[in-house]
C-alpha cells in the first residue's frame, strides 16, 4: 500500500487563520478540503507537501441565492450541490453533472473549491462553472479579490490562486431566461469523462442574448469554446445553429490520445456533446420564458 511522505498537520479554525498559516509555512504548505484529489496524489508521491492545513471546519459550506447571483461556499460538497433546490431551479447543469461525478463516497467529501482548484482539465464542475460565467473569490493576506473563470486556469493543474491565497466562494450571475445542461461520456459509471460539455444559454424574446460552452477532458485545461459562444449570440435557437456550434467546439478543442480514446473520437464527442447540451439548455431556457 502506498503511503504519503511525512507531513505536519493543522486544523484551521478561521479563513484568516488558514491564510496566515499558508504565509507562515511557505510554498510547501497545502490546503486540504475533501482530500479526494490531494490524498491520492500524496500517496503516489506526485504531491509531497510538508504541511497540511485542513479547512474542513471553516464555515464555507452554503448555496445562497442573492439578488443578482447565487453564491456557493468553497467547502460545499458534491452531495450538497446535487440536492440543492436553488441550483436545480436556477442552474440544472449542476444536477446533471453531479449525477455523473464519481460515487457517493467521493461526493460526500469532495468540495467545489477543491474541484476548481485541482484544475484537472477533466473536472466536470470546472466546465459547469465556466459555462455559467462564474467568478471565483480568492482571499489572501491583503483581502479578497475576484477572478472570472475565463481567467482562472493558467495552465494544466494551475490556477490564478497565488501563494498564500485560498478560494472562499464561487459566484454565479443570475439573469432571466437561463437554461443549462451538462453532457458526459465516460467508460463506466462514476469515472472521469472521456469527454464532457457544459452549456448555458440565456434567452430573451426567443433570441439568445448570452451563451456559455465549456469542455472537459478535451484539452490541457478546461476549454471555453469562445467561437461557438460568439456564433450563438443574437440568434434564435435551432438545430442547425447548435450543429454549427458543435462543429466549432470540435475544431477548437485540443484532446490528447490516451487510454480513454484517440483524438478523432474525442473530437467527435466534443461536437456531438456540444450540440446535445445546447439543445437541452435551450429547451430549459424556453421553459423558463414560458413560466
Ligand X SMILES: Cc1cc2nc3c(=O)[nH]c(=O)nc-3n(C[C@H](O)[C@H](O)[C@H](O)COP(=O)(O)OP(=O)(O)OC[C@H]3O[C@@H](n4cnc5c(N)ncnc54)[C@H](O)[C@@H]3O)c2cc1C
- Pairing mode, strands 158-159 and 153-155: antiparallel
* 38 scored as a contact of ligand X (CB under 6 A): yes
> For residues 31 and 178, which CB has a smaller minimum distance to ligand X in the complex?
31
Among the listed residues 12, 29, 34, 185, the single contact to ligand X using CB under 6 A: 34
Question: Least Å distance between CB 71 and ligand X?
Answer: 14
How far apart (Å, rounded) are the C-alpha atoms in residues 62 and 111? 11
Binding mask 217-256 for ligand X (x = CB under 6 A): ----------------------------------------
Question: Least Å distance between CB 248 and ligand X?
Answer: 24
From residue 24, how far is each of 6, 156, 166, 174 by CA, in Å? Answer: 19, 27, 14, 38
Question: Least Å distance between CB 212 and ligand X?
Answer: 17
* Alpha helical stretches, state H, 132-258: 226-232, 239-252
Question: Least Å distance between CB 106 and ligand X?
Answer: 5
Question: 105 Cβ partners below 8 Å, 6+ apart?
Answer: none
Sign of the CA dihedral with 115 first, then 119, 121, and 126 last: positive
Any idea which residue has 478523432 for its cell? 264
Q: Which of residues 186-205 bind ligand X (CB under 6 A)?
A: 191-192
Query: What cell does 147 get?
Result: 477572478
Among the listed residues 29, 70, 101, 228, the single contact to ligand X using CB under 6 A: 101
Q: Which stretch binds ligand X (CB under 6 A): 118-126, 146-154, 233-241, 248-256?
A: 118-126
How far apart (Å, rounded) are the C-alpha atoms in residues 30 and 26? 9
Say how many C-beta atoms besides its own lie within 10 A of residue 66's C-beta: 9
Q: Which stretch binds ligand X (CB under 6 A): 161-169, 198-206, 218-226, 262-270?
A: 161-169
Q: How far is CA 264 from the centre of its chain?
A: 25
* 98 scored as a contact of ligand X (CB under 6 A): no
Among the listed residues 76, 118, 180, 198, the single contact to ligand X using CB under 6 A: 118
Question: Least Å distance between CB 144 and ligand X?
Answer: 13
How far apart (Å, rounded) are the C-alpha atoms in residues 143 and 108? 30
* 80 scored as a contact of ligand X (CB under 6 A): no
Which of 63, 73, 74 is CA-nearest to residue 31?
74
Q: Which stretch binds ligand X (CB under 6 A): 8-16, 19-27, 100-108, 220-228?
A: 100-108
* 42 scored as a contact of ligand X (CB under 6 A): no
Q: Provide the Cα torsion 95, 98, 104, 108; round to 10°.
A: -90
Question: Least Å distance between CB 267 and ligand X?
Answer: 21
* 106 scored as a contact of ligand X (CB under 6 A): yes
How far apart (Å, rounded) are the C-alpha atoms in residues 169 and 45? 29
* 31 scored as a contact of ligand X (CB under 6 A): yes
Q: Which residues bind ligand X (CB under 6 A)?
A: 30-38, 74, 101-102, 106, 110-111, 113-115, 117-118, 123-125, 161, 166-167, 191-192
Amino acid at each position: 500500500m502506498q503511503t504519503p511522505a511525512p507531513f505536519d498537520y493543522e486544523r484551521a479554525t478561521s479563513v484568516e487563520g488558514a491564510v496566515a498559516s499558508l504565509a507562515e509555512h511557505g510554498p510547501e504548505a497545502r490546503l486540504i478540503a475533501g482530500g479526494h484529489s490531494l490524498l491520492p496524489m500524496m500517496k503516489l508521491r506526485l504531491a509531497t507537501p510538508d504541511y497540511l492545513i485542513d479547512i474542513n471546519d471553516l464555515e464555507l459550506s452554503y448555496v445562497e441565492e442573492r439578488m443578482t447571483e447565487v453564491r456557493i461556499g468553497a467547502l460545499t460538497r458534491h452531495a450538497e450541490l446535487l440536492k440543492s433546490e436553488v441550483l436545480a431551479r436556477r442552474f440544472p447543469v449542476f444536477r446533471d453533472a453531479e449525477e455523473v461525478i464519481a460515487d457517493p463516497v467521493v461526493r460526500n467529501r469532495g468540495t467545489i473549491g477543491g474541484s476548481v482548484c485541482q484544475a484537472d482539465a477533466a473536472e466536470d464542475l470546472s466546465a459547469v462553472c465556466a459555462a455559467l460565467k462564474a467568478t471565483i473569490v480568492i482571499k489572501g493576506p491583503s483581502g479578497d479579490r475576484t477572478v472570472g473563470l475565463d481567467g482562472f486556469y493558467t495552465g494544466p493543474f494551475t490556477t490564478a490562486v497565488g501563494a498564500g491565497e485560498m478560494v472562499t466562494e464561487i459566484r454565479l450571475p443570475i439573469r432571466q431566461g437561463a437554461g443549462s445542461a451538462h453532457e458526459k461520456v465516460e467508460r463506466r459509471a462514476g469515472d472521469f469523462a472521456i469527454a464532457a460539455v457544459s452549456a448555458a444559454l440565456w434567452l430573451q424574446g426567443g433570441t439568445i442574448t448570452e451563451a456559455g460552452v465549456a469542455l472537459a477532458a478535451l484539452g490541457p485545461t478546461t476549454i471555453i469554446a469562445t467561437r461557438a459562444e460568439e456564433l450563438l449570440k443574437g440568434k434564435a435557437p435551432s438545430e442547425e445553429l447548435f450543429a454549427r456550434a458543435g462543429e466549432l467546439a470540435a475544431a477548437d478543442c485540443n484532446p490528447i490520445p490516451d487510454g480513454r480514446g484517440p483524438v478523432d473520437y474525442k473530437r467527435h464527442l466534443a461536437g456531438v456533446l456540444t450540440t446535445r447540451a445546447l439543445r437541452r439548455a435551450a429547451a430549459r431556457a424556453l421553459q423558463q420564458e414560458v413560466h
